């Protein structure tokens, strides 16, 4: 994918500017971890730590891909709390509020270890070089692609092909529209600084949602007959739609449950190992409703919606397709990486 396709950031960089359209900060640390180590960081099992937040849709993608591919033994993972201040995400879920591997309280410490005067937003996901404690990259769109390609020697047996070469052009094309119009489109609505900007963003978003609804009416997955990178990228927005975006971001023409194909598709993925078992609805709601004080100054977190409907039959298997192709589903979630059972209908 080209650099403009990777133009994504975490929720930490989102604020309302009065009278203006929301514009996402698109500058990332583009250092890559590759087999040849061209950027100074070779693929090496046990050397790197993925720092992610279950609350963040962009970080959620990396958690899903790491699990689908079985990279748990090769790349360790640290999970931040669901909220943050303007400085950084913190490790408040860990004993003493310190990441047990990196020994830091805030992910900003890894950024400053490499760039003492780092001027941009401190975002997740980020991959950190454990020996030096320095951030390597926060360019998470590239992170997941590299998990699929550069880290192939460490994939589990039966790992799916999330970025198969014959479909890459189509995956890139679909993913580009999903990002610009949907992944970022909900933010364009939520952080619009004027009525005009909001209505323009709203129309763009639902034009794309209608396109996706039509596309997924006749096919089980976005590209081809298996799960690909494109599905991962769409899923993390859809799973946040009714709990957060519909109300908080005013994307309220329809709830997700009112899109027959998209709702079935989202449930199909949610009930697939590697997707729903990475989703923490409590973290999602607390993050958006507490952190975005300019949108929700009371910081009251809604009690709903009911989540049991995520486990209802979807019947998408009638469209054919094989979620993992010639591969197999991942095994049980690793001890220490499970979502709190109180935060998910997958108990």
Q: Where does the chain hold its CATH 3.40.30.10 domain(s)?
A: 3-154
Q: Is 189 assigned a catalytic role?
A: no
DSSP string, 233-270: HHHHHHTTIIIIIHHHT---S--GGG-HHHHHHHHHHH
| pLDDT tens, residue by residue, 103-152 | 999 999 999 999 999 998 899 999 999 999 999 999 999 999 999 999 99
Which one is catalytic: 111, 187, 198, 289? 187
Q: Quote the tokens at residue 150.
A: 């550069």
| pLDDT tens, residue by residue, 220-239 | 999 999 999 999 999 999 99
| pLDDT tens, residue by residue, 263-317 | 999 999 999 999 999 999 999 999 999 999 999 999 999 999 999 999 999 999 9
Which one is catalytic: 28, 41, 48, 56? 56
Closest CA to 236 of 92, 347, 125: 125
Closest CA to 128 of 35, 115, 338: 115
CATH value of 171-343 in 3.40.50.1000, 3.40.50.720, 3.30.379.10, 1.20.1050.10? 1.20.1050.10
Q: Is 140 assigned a catalytic role?
A: no
Answer yes or no: is pLDDT of 199 > 50. yes
Q: Where does the chain hold its CATH 1.20.1050.10 domain(s)?
A: 171-343
Beta-ladder partners of 256? none
DSSP string, 18-76: TTS-------------BTT-TTS-B--TTSEEEEE-TT-HHHHHHHHHHHHHT-TTTSE
3-class DSSP state for residue 176? helix
3-class DSSP state for residue 285? helix
Task: Give the CATH superfamily of 3-154.
Answer: Glutaredoxin (3.40.30.10)
Closest CA to 169 of 343, 346, 340, 1: 1
Number of H helices, E strands in the chain: 10, 4
Say what the pTM is: 0.94
């Amino acid at each position: 994918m080209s650099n403009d396709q990777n133009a994504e950031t975490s929720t930490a960089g989102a604020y309302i500017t009065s009278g203006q359209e929301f514009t996402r900060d698109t500058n990332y640390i583009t250092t890559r971890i590759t087999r040849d180590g061209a950027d100074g960081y070779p693929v090496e099992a046990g050397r790197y730590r993925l720092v992610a937040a279950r609350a963040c849709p962009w970080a959620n993608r990396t958690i899903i891909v790491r699990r689908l591919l079985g990279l748990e033994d090769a790349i360790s993972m640290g999970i931040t709390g669901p909220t943050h201040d303007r400085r950084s995400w913190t490790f408040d879920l860990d004993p003493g509020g310190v990441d047990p591997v990196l020994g830091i309280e805030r992910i900003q410490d890894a950024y400053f270890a490499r760039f003492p005067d780092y001027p941009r937003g401190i975002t997740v996901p980020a991959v950190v070089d454990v020996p030096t404690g320095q951030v390597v990259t926060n360019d998470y769109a590239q992170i997941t692609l590299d998990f699929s390609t550069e880290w192939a020697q460490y994939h589990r047996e039966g790992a799916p092909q999330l970025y198969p070469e014959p479909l890459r052009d189509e995956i890139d094309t679909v993913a580009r529209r999903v990002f610009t119009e949907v992944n970022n489109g909900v933010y364009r609505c939520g952080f619009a600084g004027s009525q005009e900007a909001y209505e323009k963003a709203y129309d763009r978003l639902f034009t794309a949602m209608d396109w996706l609804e039509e596309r997924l009416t006749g096919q089980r997955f976005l590209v081809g007959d298996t799960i690909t990178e494109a599905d991962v990228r769409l899923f993390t927005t859809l799973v946040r739609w009714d709990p957060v975006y519909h109300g908080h971001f005013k994307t309220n023409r329809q709830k997700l449950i009112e899109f027959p194909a998209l709702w079935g598709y989202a449930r199909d993925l949610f009930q697939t190992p590697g997707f729903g078992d990475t989703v923490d609805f409590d973290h999602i709601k607390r993050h958006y409703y507490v952190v975005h004080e300019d949108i929700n100054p009371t910081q009251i977190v809604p009690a709903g919606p009911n989540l049991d409907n995520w486990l209802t039959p979807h019947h998408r298997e009638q469209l054919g397709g094989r979620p993992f192709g010639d591969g197999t589903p991942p095994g049980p979630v690793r001890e220490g990486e499970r979502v709190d059972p109180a935060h998910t209908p997958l108990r």
